[in-house]
């Protein structure tokens, strides 16, 4: 019976059969083994069924399997973690008369999944022993909670502690590098993967593809992809999304065609998001419509609100803002913030204050705390010169206690350190030189026809003041610093937390030509690669 129940724990659909086997076993008066409970609890965990888990918990108590058996207690703990019931997990942990490393690690994971990395780290620190799995739980916990710096730090400490790194441990570090987007650390992690032969592992390889793509090294991502001995839906989805974010839509679509035509790897909803984003970032409206139409029947993928958001983005970016609005209205499922946000973004590009109002009103209800939509709406009104409306939006923001998060850019220096710049900020030690270089650079650009795009400034101030504000944009400061410190042949890589503005985009293009330098900017939307006066985004961003 126990073997049969164990065979059921692989699939969430087999929870009921395994419970039925258990009751049959009880009717025949066969006493359950501790392993029987472990197997049953694993089924409940796989099905994420808290009711079934709690029932098994009380049965284990009454039949004496818990808390006396460590394995059963650990299985209970794992079940509560899988069902994201942190409190019950903690209670089981506290009631255990004996705990091993597995119990400690399970609870670390429970706290990490709940987003409480402080408690997770404290628990990890007080755990009496730490093996590679425990360390990995800490590293990936940080990575999952958008704390990539801490994740890498923990990874380094794990190595220093003399723990042998395996594939799973490395994946956490790779994912952290993807979030950081820092090239030198990405190379370092890749070296570790190579040295240990981990690159052939599908999960590590897929993570590396994603990491290189997010670091702006799309050709390296492709190389890792091409050299992988085995690829699955994650690998393809990462590569397609990476190509999409770099504006290489044709390659993304070609890869998708290869995937569905020449492999046994079935695309999923994430893959299709990559494909639709690729179309969007290249203005390929007809192709996007085609893939969107094919999703349900050809690939058996239901169209989610996320897919609609991609379509709204695609249509809206291409100037079909009214059609995008009609698509939202025709949706069979409830549009979420992403859908309205895409519409609002389109209104910004094509100056549609009325539709913007509709979209923003929905967003203010759906995501009242999200600052982005207020700023977008206010900027749309500002470009239309509707200053009264602008101040109304600003007032609304103030009333809700929302503060704009400051624009910032980062660039990795040759010292390997990441240098941070805020808009109009003079705190960098080399700020004077940066400012001087910018002045001189702007002068030179003007000789080749550069005119500052004053409309990129959304404040109602004089033209002179607008030009001064433009010069202080964080990505320009980062650019100047990079020009000041770079070696010949270096690619300048800048990361920005917000979308790059039109004026900075123009300046990057011109500088790439005048200074004969390649510049890669990662903004919050995508990558821009500037070479010889041209950007890979071809104006779509």
Give me the helix-helix angle, 371-383 and 337-350, nearest 10°. 20
Specify the 3-state DSSP secondary structure of 493: strand
Question: How many residues of this chain interact with DNA, rule: CB under 7 A?
Answer: 77
Q: Show the site string, 272-311: x = touches DNA by CB under 7 A, - = not.
A: -xx--x----------------------------x--xx-
| Binding residues for DNA restricted to 403-462, rule: CB under 7 A | none
Which residue, 465 or 502, has its beta carbon nearer to DNA? 502
Q: Does the footprint of DNA cover residue 38 (CB under 7 A)?
A: yes
Of 7, 26, 145, 166, the one binding DNA by CB under 7 A: 166
Q: What is the dihedral of CA 375, 378, 383, 386, to 10 degrees?
A: -170
Provide CB contacts within 8 A for 352, sequence distance 6+: 321, 346, 380
Q: Does the footprint of DNA cover residue 186 (CB under 7 A)?
A: no
Which single residue is written with the structure tokens 């425990």?
A: 134
Cβ at position 327, least distance to DNA in Å: 14
End-to-end C-alpha distance for the chain, whole angstroms? 60
| Binding residues for DNA restricted to 88-147, rule: CB under 7 A | 100-102, 105-106, 109, 131-134, 136-137, 140, 143-144
Q: How far out from the chain centre does Cα 51 lie?
A: 32
Cβ at position 458, least distance to DNA in Å: 17
Q: What is the rounded CA–CA span in Å between residue 512 and residue 520?
A: 10
Cβ at position 174, least distance to DNA in Å: 7
Cβ at position 71, least distance to DNA in Å: 5
Cβ at position 408, least distance to DNA in Å: 19
Of 89, 92, 215, 525, the one binding DNA by CB under 7 A: 525
Of 235, 409, 456, 536, the one binding DNA by CB under 7 A: 235
Cβ at position 354, least distance to DNA in Å: 18
Torsion angles phi and psi, residue 493, rounded to 5: -120, 120
Q: Show the site string, 368-407: x = touches DNA by CB under 7 A, - = not.
A: --x-xx----------------------------------
3-state SS of 183-197 is HHHHHHHHHHHHHHC
Provide CB contacts within 8 A for 489, sequence distance 6+: none
> Max Cα separation, the chain?
93
Q: Does the footprint of DNA cover residue 535 (CB under 7 A)?
A: no
For residue 200, the tally of other CB atoms under 10 A from its CB is 13
Of 18, 43, 75, 88, the one binding DNA by CB under 7 A: 75
Q: Show the site string, 472-511: x = touches DNA by CB under 7 A, - = not.
A: ----------------------------------------
Which residue, 52 or 169, has its beta carbon nearer to DNA? 169
Q: Does the footprint of DNA cover residue 199 (CB under 7 A)?
A: no
Which residue, 60 or 438, has its beta carbon nearer to DNA? 60
Q: Is the dihedral of CA 279, 281, 282, 284 positive or negative?
A: positive
Q: What is the DSSP string of 294-333?
A: HHHHHH-----HHHHHHHHHHHHHTT-HHHHHHHHHT-SS
Q: Which residues of 64-99 are buried (b: 16+ CB within 10 A; e: fewer)?
A: ebbbebbbbbbbbbbbbbbbebbebbbebbeebeeb
| Binding residues for DNA restricted to 325-354, rule: CB under 7 A | 337-338, 340-342, 344-345
Q: Does the footprint of DNA cover residue 324 (CB under 7 A)?
A: no
Q: Does the footprint of DNA cover residue 171 (CB under 7 A)?
A: yes
Of 1, 35, 299, 422, the one binding DNA by CB under 7 A: 35
Q: What is the dihedral of CA 180, 153, 89, 13, to 10 degrees?
A: 50
Q: Show the site string, 45-64: x = touches DNA by CB under 7 A, - = not.
A: x-------------------
| Binding residues for DNA restricted to 1-20, rule: CB under 7 A | 2, 6
Specify the 3-state DSSP secondary structure of 60: helix
């Amino acid at each position: 019976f126990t073997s049969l129940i164990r065979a059921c724990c692989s699939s969430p659909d087999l929870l009921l059969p395994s419970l039925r086997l258990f009751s049959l076993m009880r009717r025949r008066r066969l006493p359950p083994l501790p392993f029987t409970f472990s197997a049953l609890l694993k089924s409940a965990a796989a099905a994420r069924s808290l009711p079934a888990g709690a029932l098994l918990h009380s049965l284990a108590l009454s039949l004496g399997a818990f808390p006396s058996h460590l394995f059963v207690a650990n299985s209970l703990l794992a079940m509560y973690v899988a069902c994201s019931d942190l409190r019950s997990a903690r209670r089981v942990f506290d009631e255990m008369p004996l705990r091993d490393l597995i119990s400690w690690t399970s609870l670390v994971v429970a706290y990490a999944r709940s987003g409480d990395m402080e408690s997770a780290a404290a628990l990890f620190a007080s755990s009496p022993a730490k093996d590679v799995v425990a360390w990995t739980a800490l590293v990936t916990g940080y990575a999952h909670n958008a704390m990539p710096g801490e994740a890498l730090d923990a990874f380094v400490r794990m190595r220093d502690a003399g723990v042998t790194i395996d594939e799973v441990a490395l994946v956490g570090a790779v994912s952290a590098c993807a979030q950081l987007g820092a090239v030198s650390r990405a190379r370092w992690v890749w070296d570790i993967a190579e040295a240990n032969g981990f690159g052939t592992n599908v999960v590590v390889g897929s993570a590396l593809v994603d990491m290189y793509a997010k670091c702006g090294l799309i050709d390296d991502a492709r190389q890792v992809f091409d050299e992988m001995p085995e690829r699955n839906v994650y690998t393809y989805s990462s590569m397609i999304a990476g190509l999409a974010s770099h504006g290489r839509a044709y390659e993304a679509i070609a890869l998708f065609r290869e995937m569905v035509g020449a492999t046994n790897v079935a695309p999923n909803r994430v893959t299709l998001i990559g494909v639709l984003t690729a179309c969007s970032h290249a203005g390929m409206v007809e192709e996007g419509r085609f893939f969107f139409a094919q999703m349900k029947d050809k690939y058996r993928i239901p169209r989610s609100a996320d897919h609609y958001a991609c379509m709204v983005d695609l249509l809206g970016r291409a100037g079909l803002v009214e059609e995008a609005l009609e698509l939202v209205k025709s949706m069979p499922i409830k549009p979420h913030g992403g859908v309205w946000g895409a519409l609002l973004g389109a209104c910004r590009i094509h100056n549609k204050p009325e539709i913007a109002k509709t979209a923003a009103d929905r967003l203010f209800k759906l995501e009242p705390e999200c600052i982005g939509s207020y700023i977008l709406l206010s900027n749309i009104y500002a470009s239309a010169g509707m200053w009264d409306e602008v101040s109304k939006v600003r007032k609304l923001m103030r009333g809700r206690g929302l503060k704009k998060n400051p624009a910032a850019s980062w660039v990795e220096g040759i010292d390997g350190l990441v240098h941070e710049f805020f808009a109009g900020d003079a705190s960098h030690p080399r700020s004077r030189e940066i400012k001087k270089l910018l002045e001189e650079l702007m002068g030179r650009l003007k000789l080749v026809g550069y005119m500052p795009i004053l409309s990129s400034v959304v404040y109602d101030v004089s033209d002179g003041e607008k030009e001064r504000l433009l010069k202080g944009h964080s990505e320009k400061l980062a650019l100047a610093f990079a020009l000041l410190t770079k070696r010949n042949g270096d690619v300048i890589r800048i990361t920005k937390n917000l979308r790059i503005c039109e004026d900075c985009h123009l300046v990057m293009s011109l500088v790439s030509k005048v200074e004969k330098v390649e510049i890669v900017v990662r903004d919050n939307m995508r990558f821009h690669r500037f070479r010889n006066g041209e950007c890979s985004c071809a104006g779509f961003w």
